[in-house]
Amino acid sequence: MARNFPLERYRNIGIIAHIDAGKTTTTERILFYTGKTYRLGNVDEGNTVTDWMVQERERGITIVSAAVTAEWKGYQINIIDTPGHIDFTAEVQRSLRVLDGGVVVFDSVQGVEPQSETVWRQADRYNVPRICFANKMDRIGASFERTVESIRQRLGANAIPMQLAIGSESNFKGVVDLLTMQAIYYEDELGKQETYAEIPAELKSAAEEARAAMVEKIAELDDDLTVKFLEGEELSIDELKAALRKGILENRATAVFTGSSLKNKGVQQVLDAVIDYLPSPLDIPAVNGNNPDTGEEITRPAEDDAPMSALVFKIVTDPYVGRLAYFRVYSGKLASGTMVYNSVKGKKERIGRLIRMYADRREDIQEVLAGDIAAVLGLKESFTGDTLCDAAQPITLEAITFPEPVISVA
Ligand code: GDP
């Protein structure tokens, strides 16, 4: 079976950050936790989590992948690499186009820096729904509140803090989850263990205040909830989550979380938030393209039985397997061994091995369905930005003219 999960349980996301904010460390932690989830089903292999991490470091496959697939709580998360050096280049535009949502990582000491502004504006331009992670809370001078404030001031974002930090700097212990009003601590050095506890007495009133502010901001995102809120009705956690999700998907708000990826604190809550608040391929508008012969505009829904359309977004020469073309299927399906039409080059090519990249392994798959991301071996004529489609129903997904005007952000 090509689809491990129903499409609404897919998340195609990017970890977006300027250099040094902690993108690599955060991605590594995500792969660590999701890898552990995967391992739970494979106890026979006898690998402990630590062994796996060491092996991974030695092999170093994952972080260099243009897209890596992870599983978290019954969801498939495809993490698309976004270039760290953010510039108005075709490469950045393309990676933002291929993903459906982003986790933007900030350094909690620096808050919003000029480079994070550039990243943010680009994501705005492509309407990428976002959640934020205020990282490096263990560092001297780190402040969650200040980081949230700078997201509001400098980015003009409707930033909604979902947590309250417990302690800071070397004393940073965990967070209060303002939705459930539980304290979450991370116990051992690998951060495997999350402990849910009562909010410490000295933080109770601050947490209540922070929750009230959060509820008010979320209620504003939905007309029905606004009415209920103004009438003094209690809003349930499910209602709040649904309204926040809607606000984020419509780019009217962003949710802010905090932690320290280096110290394994907070990343699991970010993964939960990816599931709760970022879109599935069914939540984004159907893809548009043009008929390469007539120029006629075509819309393709994210459905497996629609005509096939896929975009090649990155070519990587993998030292083990060779020339890999990473692509996203927007509609229809793409099967190993079949012929496809590259509508940009005007050439037919045969699809060789189809490969899904996980943190610790590669998996051969037979077909890739609408909304999914994978890599293909054996394409010789296809390059970044090319559309693969059915020759009988051709489409070109991307205008071929690059680059767009350079806008510099000081
Ligand atoms: P990238 O350039 O955004 O990919 O950032 P990296 O993940 O490579 O991190 C940049 C530097 O910040 C490295 O030295 C990391 O060890 C460090 N770093 C990342 N996350 C944290 C954190 O949560 N706390 C602290 N103190 N350092 C961190």
- For residue range 22-70, list pLDDT tens digits in order: 988 898 888 888 875 443 333 334 343 334 444 444 444 444 578 999 9
Closest C-alpha to ligand 1, atom 16? 262
What's the per-residue H, E or C state across 338-375? CEEEECCCCEEEECCCEEEEECCCEEEECEEECCCEEE
> Residue 245: what pLDDT?
98
Q: For residue 4, how far is its CA from the centre of ligand 1 (angstroms)? A: 33
Q: Which of 15, 16, 25, 168 to mutate to test the pocket of ligand 1 (most atoms within 8 A of CB)?
A: 25
> Residue 190: what pLDDT?
55
Q: For residue 296, how far is its CA from the centre of ligand 1 (angstroms)? A: 47
Q: For residue 263, how far is its CA from the centre of ligand 1 (angstroms)? A: 10
> Residue 319: what pLDDT?
77
Q: For residue 187, how far is its CA from the centre of ligand 1 (angstroms)? A: 21
The helices-and-strands tally (H runs, E runs) of the chain is 9, 23
Query: Could you report the predicted ipTM of this complex, rounded to two decimals?
Result: 0.98
| CA-wise closest residue to 223 among 189, 247, 201 | 247
Q: For residue 133, how far is its CA from the centre of ligand 1 (angstroms)? A: 13
Instruction: State which ligand 1 atom lies nearest to the alpha carbon of 135.
Output: 23
Instruction: State which ligand 1 atom lies nearest to the alpha carbon of 263.
Output: 23
- Contacts (Cβ under 8 Å, ≥6 apart) of 333: 2, 304, 308, 367, 368, 369, 370
- For residue range 5-20, list pLDDT tens digits in order: 999 999 999 998 888 8
> Residue 51: what pLDDT?
40
Describe the strand order of the beta sheet including 75-80 as a list of residue ranges.
67-72, 75-80, 10-16, 101-107, 130-135, 254-258, 159-161
Q: For residue 302, how far is its CA from the centre of ligand 1 (angstroms)? A: 36
DSSP state at residue 17:
-
SS3 390: strand
Q: What single string gives the DSSP state of each residue in 283-316?
A: TSPPEEEE-TTT--EEEE-S-TTSPPEEEEEEEE
Whether the link from the prior residue into 281 is cis, omega within 30° of 0, is no
Q: For residue 20, how far is its CA from the centre of ligand 1 (angstroms)? A: 6
Which residue ranges are tagged as binding site for GTP? 17-24, 81-85, 135-138
What is the distance between the alpha carbons of residues 373 and 361, in angstroms, rounded to a whole number? 16
Instruction: State which ligand 1 atom lies nearest to the alpha carbon of 27.
Output: 7
What is the distance between the alpha carbons of residues 22 and 113, in angstroms, rounded to a whole number? 13
> Residue 193: what pLDDT?
64
Instruction: State which ligand 1 atom lies nearest to the alpha carbon of 25.
Output: 7
> Residue 104: what pLDDT?
96
Inter-residue contact 142 to 136 (CB < 8 Å): yes
> Residue 192: what pLDDT?
58
In the structure, which protein residues have their CB atom closer than 6 angstroms to any atom of ligand 1?
Answer: 17, 19-25, 84, 135-136, 138-139, 260-262
Instruction: State which ligand 1 atom lies nearest to the alpha carbon of 17.
Output: 3
Closest C-alpha to ligand 1, atom 10? 20
Closest C-alpha to ligand 1, atom 9? 22
Q: For residue 106, how far is its CA from the centre of ligand 1 (angstroms)? A: 10
What is the distance between the alpha carbons of residues 52 and 187, in angstroms, rounded to a whole number? 20
Those residues of the chain that have pLDDT short of 70 are 1-2, 36-64, 84-90, 187-193, 399-410
Cross-strand bridge partners of residue 131: 103, 255
Instruction: State which ligand 1 atom lies nearest to the alpha carbon of 18.
Output: 3
Which residue ranges are tagged as binding site? 17-24, 81-85, 135-138
